[in-house]
């Protein structure tokens, strides 16, 4: 019998179409609904990019104004969600807090109850749910960091747009424009990336006609892993472990001798470098100057040049994002929850697209266990 052509990890396998984003390793580019992500990061607030991912077009000024009113309506941390977060042990990973909070939001959604046959929801219902999750996640992530620091919850401010308000709720002070801009860029760059592991997880869950909240909770679980979203947190653990640039070579000698994966480098699709890195590195550079931290830039550049020279494997988006979030003041454990707050836009856009296709995702497997046998006696 001929061996089947198994594609481990679905590497290189095209399983469906999508109109949401195009990842092109040949040209090292990324388009959101046709727009180069670099142009969006240079010109748009994150709210406009979220709108684009869901609706397929950038908002007019009137549409953006209306969207901002709607987003502000759902920013405050609901009492029951705060109570659920407070039940999560302080030493649990913050991704478990975020997963728990989203799960409770879903369970509390009056429209998501009732018969499982209604779980999937209409496109209109799911767009409303997407906006609510988009608006609610900053307070969830900000409160998570503050409670771990023994600090009180900070209420949102309606006079601040999405990124500035996110930073306000986290740190309790108005961030400088250069910090807001760098943060806004990171959210746009993290928002969407076609069929990555967490997005595909959300699509598999949606393909059974389950609900959008279950899809997002599943996606959060997938994103937590260090081979995926958890890499931005792991990059800072590496930076802390190395300490200063003059320790890069010995550290890398040891890590590669132990055959360790160096987090923040490599990518399943991009093999000549991640198209998003130059834009995020430029944002990191503005933060290095703003906070006068040339030491961070030196460590970043030394590790990159050493690793690329030895392995020919290039940084991915998590490599510049980690030190950027560290400079802004986020705890390392908060980094992947920040990724959730951004990627919830891409995940939910894919949920809405998948729900419209009505096609159950169910691949085949090749059995290599024992031949058929029977219970004795
Ligand atoms: C994200 O898919 C997406 O779009 C994801 C993402 C998104 O926006 O959603 O872009 C976000 O997840 C970025 C990736 C973050 N992960 C990391 O930084 C973790 C470290 N990276 C590696 O684990 C790895 O590069 C992957 C998992 C990202 C991709 O790996 P592949 O494509 O499955 O390739 P592979 O693991 O088979 O590696 C091929 C070779 C191996 O060597 P050999 O076993 O053949 O000798 O390259 C080596 C690997 O050991 N290699 C690395 C490495 N990445 C690949 N060696 C050391 N360090 C690394 N980082």
pLDDT reported for residue 3: 77
179 vs 186: CA distance, rounded Å: 11
> Which distant-in-sequence residues (6+ apart) come within 8 Å of 195 by Cβ?
15, 16, 18, 203
Ligand 1 neighbourhood includes 193 CB (under 6 angstroms): yes
pLDDT reported for residue 4: 87
Residues 205 and 58 sit within 8 Å (Cβ to Cβ): no
Residue nearest to atom 12 of ligand 1 (CA): 228
Ligand 1 neighbourhood includes 224 CB (under 6 angstroms): no
Q: Give the catalytic positions in this structure.
A: 228, 267, 318
| CA 176 to each of CA 15, 58, 189, 194, 202: distance values in angstroms, whole numbers, following the listed order | 44, 26, 20, 32, 35
Interval 183-227: pLDDT, tens: 999 999 999 999 999 999 999 999 999 999 999 999 999 999 999
Q: Report which of 5, 139, 151, 127 is spatially closest to residue 77, judged by C-alpha positions.
A: 139
| Predicted TM-score (pTM) of this structure | 0.96
Interval 166-179: pLDDT, tens: 999 999 999 999 99
pLDDT reported for residue 241: 97
**314: number of Cβ within 10 Å:** 19
Give residue for tokens 């180069």. 36
Residue of 261, 269, 276 best suited for mutating to test ligand 1, as the one with most atoms within 8 Å of CB: 261
Quote the DSSP letter at residue 123. Answer: H
Residue nearest to atom 34 of ligand 1 (CA): 268
Q: Report which of 126, 76, 85 is spatially closest to residue 103, judged by C-alpha positions.
A: 85
Ligand 1 neighbourhood includes 264 CB (under 6 angstroms): yes
190 vs 182: CA distance, rounded Å: 12
Residue nearest to atom 1 of ligand 1 (CA): 228
Characterise 14 by phi-psi region: left (phi > 0), alpha (psi -120 to 50), beta (else).
Answer: beta
Structure tokens at 353: 């697209």
**122: number of Cβ within 10 Å:** 12
ipTM: 0.97
Ligand 1 neighbourhood includes 265 CB (under 6 angstroms): yes
Interval 39-85: pLDDT, tens: 999 999 999 999 999 999 999 999 999 999 999 999 999 999 999 99
- The gap from C-alpha 138 to its chain's centroid, in whole angstroms, comes to 13
122 vs 205: CA distance, rounded Å: 16
């Amino acid at each position: 019998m001929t061996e089947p052509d198994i594609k481990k990890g679905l590497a290189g396998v095209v399983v469906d179409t999508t109109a949401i984003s195009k990842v092109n390793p040949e040209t090292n580019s990324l388009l959101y609904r046709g727009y180069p992500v670099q142009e969006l990061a240079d010109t748009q607030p994150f709210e406009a990019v979220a709108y684009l991912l869901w609706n397929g077009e950038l908002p007019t000024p009137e549409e953006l104004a209306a969207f901002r009113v709607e987003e502000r309506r759902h920013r405050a941390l609901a009492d029951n969600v705060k109570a659920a977060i407070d039940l999560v042990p302080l030493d649990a990973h913050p991704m478990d807090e975020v997963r728990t909070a989203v799960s409770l939001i879903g369970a509390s959604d009056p429209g998501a109850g009732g018969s499982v046959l209604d779980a999937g929801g209409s496109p209109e219902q799911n767009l409303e749910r997407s906006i609510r999750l988009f608006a609610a996640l900053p307070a969830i992530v900000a409160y998570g960091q503050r409670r771990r620091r023994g600090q009180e919850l900070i209420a949102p401010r309606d006079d601040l747009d999405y990124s500035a308000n996110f930073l306000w709720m986290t740190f309790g002070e108005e961030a400088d424009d250069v910090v807001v801009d760098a943060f806004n860029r990171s959210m746009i760059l993290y928002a969407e990336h076609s069929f990555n592991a967490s997005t595909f997880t959300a699509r598999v869950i949606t393909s059974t006609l389950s609900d959008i909240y279950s899809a997002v909770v599943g996606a959060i679980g997938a994103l937590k892993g260090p081979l995926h979203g958890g890499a931005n947190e792991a990059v800072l653990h590496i930076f802390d472990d190395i300490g200063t640039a003059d320790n890069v070579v010995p550290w890398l000698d040891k890590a590669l001798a132990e055959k360790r994966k160096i987090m923040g480098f490599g990518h399943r699709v991009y093999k000549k470098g991640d198209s998003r890195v130059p834009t995020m590195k430029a944002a990191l550079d503005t933060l290095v100057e703003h906070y006068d931290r040339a030491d961070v830039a030196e460590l970043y550049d030394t590790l990159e040049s050493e690793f690329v020279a030895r392995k020919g494997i290039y940084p991915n988006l998590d490599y510049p994002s980690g030190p950027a979030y560290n400079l802004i003041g986020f705890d390392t454990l908060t980094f992947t929850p920040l990724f959730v707050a951004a990627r919830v836009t891409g995940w939910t856009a894919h949920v809405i697209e998948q729900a419209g296709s009505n096609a159950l995702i169910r691949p085949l497997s090749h059995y290599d266990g024992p031949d058929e046998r029977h219970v004795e006696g």
